[in-house]
Structure 1
């Protein structure tokens, strides 16, 4: 069997036929994929890849962009993912990055140099993202800030008439997500979230197979990711002179500077993020939601802790966690733990759909289908390549006003799966969820859990356009 797919450049990824008739998966890192995949044209089938809320409906537009007009973008947050996303946009001939923004002057200077080297033009540079939003010529912003700084720039960008590409997870908590969705709806904003797996062909093929019914009844889905990263014990010290630490903390609860926050492991602290469950978990749980076409569990329980790093470690999020989600007629298990292998011998991340007629496992490297007995021996149809045009899809949707593949509504639902697991963990009891109202029910104390809601630190406030919509 030939390689199932490959990528441009020097990196070749294979999914070869295994001895058991399945497909053997090989590894690819997130960074390698993002660096190498941006220019590849996408295969067929992605235009209608997601059913239900993901249908390609037209949304209103605060600003029209013609087919021949150049899109002008401002990049906010110039860390790893913010810079990677900016480079994808710089590679597009119909896009120009005209402004960059970061509260760390070292990162800001690097971004300016990168844009100037690539385009021959020096972009405007700001520490305050609001200055970017004041530029009337800008059509869209790309937000790659730490997680606790996703919501406010996105909402204010909607108010300013800019379309938005925002990194995942969309918000620090469920309330932020509701506010972000409300702003996008009110202002007719095209919002693409950085869950680029939705623009990868082998995920589309596997999704279609799962939804075809050929696997029979799927009663159990398992998803996981592994990690060995932990900040350790780090002392408080003065922030670097190049960093505006007060601005970096922003709407979060005040914390004195530690080098593990920036640049480093901010994701392992509930004050700034949602831990590994919110980081990699949003990718894996999004795969579950889109494949099963169901995002709203009835009840969620979660257990774990700092079981490997120990109680003295500075991190506040668990290094080990298992969450169980109860849906109307199936169950989801989510797990994080330190070091590989993953569940059932899988790699460092993945999702497993257990059906009556077979088991399908999928990760970023490919998929593996194992039939049960003589029933449904054939799995998904292999694809020749693994391309993505996630960033180009955003630009195209800006022009057509179509709903992008990782739209804000469905990604709000996927992100909620992460927050509900963390809320149940923090509360030490199961959480009941009303998917229609997007609320925790029967537990007033849980409504004040930081995975559901938190007060913004002054002078920052969270605009709640969602409350205007009922």
Structure 2
């Protein structure tokens, strides 16, 4: 087996020039490798396989249980636990990366360097620095790279843009991004988890630290540990904040100028590290954005500001305007006037054509044909990383200080009031909880780094991470 450090350089020299020049005909089969075969990975493989002219030719997962399950759906596909074998295979045209978050960028860069196109799940990165490295790789090797924010391919989004442009509801005042994703505890065990015998644990870890795991399951619940996941902000956040960037800002605001976040992990007392209640304010220099995510049970009978009740309808995005508001989620939404009268109902498909959009761009060789081109989705993922960074730098929460952090902006005070209401309804006493409130981070948007007093060593360190030997994201792609 070629060493981890040298296999890519060798395979790239052999295949990149040939693959980069290859223009796929309308009837030519596009050969896909699916890397990561959990629930989302199997779903992505199925969506790709339904596109005419696509064949799933390679299956890859460090767990043989997942491989055996996927093999039943694609009996003619090759299988491997080691994604390096996929990169070395010249018969693979493109890869779909549906691994744990900590693998997204390195797997994608390896594929790009080997001359393959990439579809990578959200968040497209585990941190901001490596997301930029992925964009640099896509540009250097002229690859087609699509992010897995499928709502970009829903025609609904263009309809909402046109409605906002028509001015029926007037100027946008602010936007509230919300999500309730009710979850259960991931448990806590006394001794470190022993990975299943079916898993090549070195390959599962890849770039992540080899540290003891005290949750009950290896798979999926990696989302709630910082070593491998990005919490709910990095799970649903990339979808919702990408909707925001696309529909409201038209991708003209790459990153916010300032971000502050707070919250905590309450009630469960489990092995998870990421917050199950998370709120944030994002200063774009124009339209203010507030974010509000909760995993604890939804409670009935909450008496709170009207905007909170709108949130409780399941809306991802609430666009508050001078003369009305829009509230919607995946696949649909409704616009109302200032008196609550329905103005228009929008219906979409949730982005069912996203896989087909990726394949069409592979055939045209035009990144401009992509609905979710990698740099746009890098930015949307980075918004989530910023909210997580402020939270992770947080100190003890004091309500008065939190409210004063964003002066003269009532919606922020509403978010904080809603947070306390949420705790009460879940029979939690704020005075006994480990609530964190992070600093107001200031950014140099062009350089994607912190500036001023917030450019502390601790903050700058969270822009990237330490990589395990042999699995480093390269500084020079």
Match of 1:176 among 106, 113, 130: 130
Q: Residue 460 and residue 100 in structure 1: after superposition, are their counterparts in 2 closer, same or farther (change >3 A)?
A: same
For 1:331, the equivalent position in structure 2 comes to 288
After superposition, give the CA deviation of every residue in 1:169-200 in whole Å (9 maximum; x if it has no partner): 00111111111111111111111111111112
- Aligned-residue RMSD, C-alpha: 2.2
8 Å CA contact 1:104, 1:243 repeated in 2: yes
Match runs of 1:55-454 below 5 Å: 61-116=20-75, 122-229=76-183, 230-235=185-190, 236-258=192-214, 260-293=216-249, 294-309=253-268, 312-337=269-294, 338-340=296-298, 343-345=308-310, 346-373=312-339, 379-380=343-344, 382-383=346-347, 388-403=352-367, 404-428=370-394, 429-442=439-452, 443-450=455-462, 452-454=463-465
Distance 2:317 2:347 in 1: 19
Distance 1:343 1:148 in 2: 34
After superposition, give the CA deviation of every residue in 1:104-160 in whole Å (9 maximum; x if it has no partner): 0010111111112xxxxx211111101001111111001110111101010011111
Q: CA deviation at 1:214?
A: 3.4
Distance 2:84 2:351 in 1: 35
Q: Residue 258 and residue 373 in structure 1: after superposition, are their counterparts in 2 closer, same or farther (change >3 A)?
A: closer
Distance 1:397 1:379 in 2: 36
8 Å CA contact 1:202, 1:383 repeated in 2: yes
Structure 1: 5+ residue runs without aligned partners? Answer: 1-59, 117-121
Structure 2: 5+ residue runs without aligned partners? Answer: 1-18, 300-306, 395-438
Q: Residue 363 and residue 126 in structure 1: after superposition, are their counterparts in 2 closer, same or farther (change >3 A)?
A: same
Distance 1:259 1:316 in 2: 10
Q: CA deviation at 1:435?
A: 1.7
Q: Which has the higher contact order (CA 8 A, sep 6+)?
A: 1
Distance 1:148 1:385 in 2: 30
Q: Residue 171 and residue 81 in structure 1: after superposition, are their counterparts in 2 closer, same or farther (change >3 A)?
A: same
Q: Residue 216 and residue 321 in structure 1: after superposition, are their counterparts in 2 closer, same or farther (change >3 A)?
A: same
TM-score scaled by structure 2?
0.79
Q: Residue 385 and residue 261 in structure 1: after superposition, are their counterparts in 2 closer, same or farther (change >3 A)?
A: closer
Q: Residue 448 and residue 296 in structure 1: after superposition, are their counterparts in 2 closer, same or farther (change >3 A)?
A: closer
Q: How many residues align?
A: 397
8 Å CA contact 1:205, 1:381 repeated in 2: no
Q: CA deviation at 1:247?
A: 1.7
Give the secondary structure class of the aligned counterpart of 2:219: helix
